[in-house]
Amino acid sequence: MYDLIIIGAGPAGLTAAIYAVRYGLNTLVIEKNVIPGQIATVTTIENYPGFTSISGMELMQKFKEHAEGAGATIQNNNVISVKEEQGKKVITTDDGGFETRAVILATGANPRKLGVEGEERLLTKGVSYCATCDGPLYGDLKVIVVGGGDSAMTDALVLSGIAKKVYVVHRRNELRACSILQERVSKKENISFIWDTVIQEIQGDELVEKVVLKNLNTGEITDMAIDGVFIYVGIDPNTSMVDTNKTENGFIVTDEQMESSVKGIFAAGDCRRTSVWQVVTAVSDGALAAISAHEYIISLDLER
Ligand code: NAP
């Protein structure tokens, strides 16, 4: 039986692992993806202290080296369920089960879908959620970025360096993104804004050819020829494997110690209910969750 199993090897999970192994906890990290962490898809991170500018992939690699160097074991596996059974936690994966005294869920989140006709059918055929991954395919073409948050502006900037023209389609006439990103975007001559507008449909036979736009003020519907649609309308957490208290969008509700509604099950990072989704807050969550898991395990020992 493990002391602690951490699910997810993104910034939150690996930070939790570093703290847990330093407490001497018998710890296993289980990760589904070969390259974990949404952050690995980010081209440049400029707000993680200690690094004035670093790619998401490089930062993740440094986290991994640090955790493994500290003694953490990371196993690739897909977790199906996490259940409480007679005081212990039972984790079922595609390749069998594990027992542990405590669990930290650091399972992150995935890009939210727009939910319009054509989005799923034309995925990878002009529809994308990652400019860093797919942007280079759009050299000298015209693309749309959907959303007004930090992710949309970050990737609009990436695409402005590749595509001929970038249109930001936003449902309001005001951006949610931080002022530095807004300022940078406003200086790019090949980025234009289409305000108060949503995409109603993405059309095309083999590849994206056009979108149907709706102006939310006037109700006017227009067709617009386009080569690519990059969607950034928020994130959905990967929390279906566990039955704890969650928000209506599936984010795990925790207390300030990162403990969920089930004793001994903690959550950290993007899968947790929070108002900020940053690497630095994920790292902070991971440290706190490991400290709390350690205290929980000590309390189990004292009860014996
Ligand atoms: P976000 O901040 O939640 O922004 C989502 C955007 O999509 C909002 O502008 C929202 O419009 C719009 N939207 C939501 N649902 C929509 C729909 N159905 N149709 C059309 N538009 C829709 O998400 P995010 O940009 O992915 O950022 C997530 C978190 O990561 C944030 O905390 C952000 O600060 C962080 N992040 C940070 C950085 C950085 O620091 N460089 C980079 C990327 C992300 P409204 O504004 O009208 O709600």
Ligand 1 and 151: CB distance under 6 A: yes
CA-closest residue to ligand 1 atom 23: 234
Q: Please give the distance of CA 9 from its chain centroid, rounded to a whole number.
A: 12
Q: Considering the candidates 3, 94, 95, 134, report the single residue annotated as catalytic.
A: 134
CA-closest candidate to residue 30, choices 102, 110, 111, 98:
98
Question: Does residue 133 have an active-site annotation?
Answer: yes
Which one of 151, 276, 278 would you pick to mutate in the ligand 1 pocket, going by the greatest count of ligand atoms within 8 A of its CB? 151
What string of pLDDT tens digits covers the 304 residues of the chain? 999 999 999 999 999 999 999 999 999 999 998 777 778 877 778 889 999 999 989 999 999 999 999 999 999 999 999 999 988 999 999 999 999 999 999 999 989 999 999 999 999 899 999 898 789 899 999 999 999 999 999 999 999 999 999 999 999 999 999 999 999 999 999 999 999 999 999 999 999 999 999 999 999 999 999 999 999 999 899 999 999 999 999 999 999 999 999 999 999 999 999 888 889 999 999 999 999 999 999 999 888 7
Ligand 1 and 176: CB distance under 6 A: yes
Question: Does residue 178 have an active-site annotation?
Answer: no
d(CA 129, CA 121): 14
> Tokens 């005294």 map to which residue?
101
CATH superfamily of 2-110+235-303: FAD/NAD(P)-binding domain (3.50.50.60)
* pTM (two decimals): 0.80
d(CA 259, CA 252): 9
Which of these CATH numbers, 3.40.50.150, 3.50.50.60, 1.10.220.150, 1.10.10.10, describes 113-231? 3.50.50.60
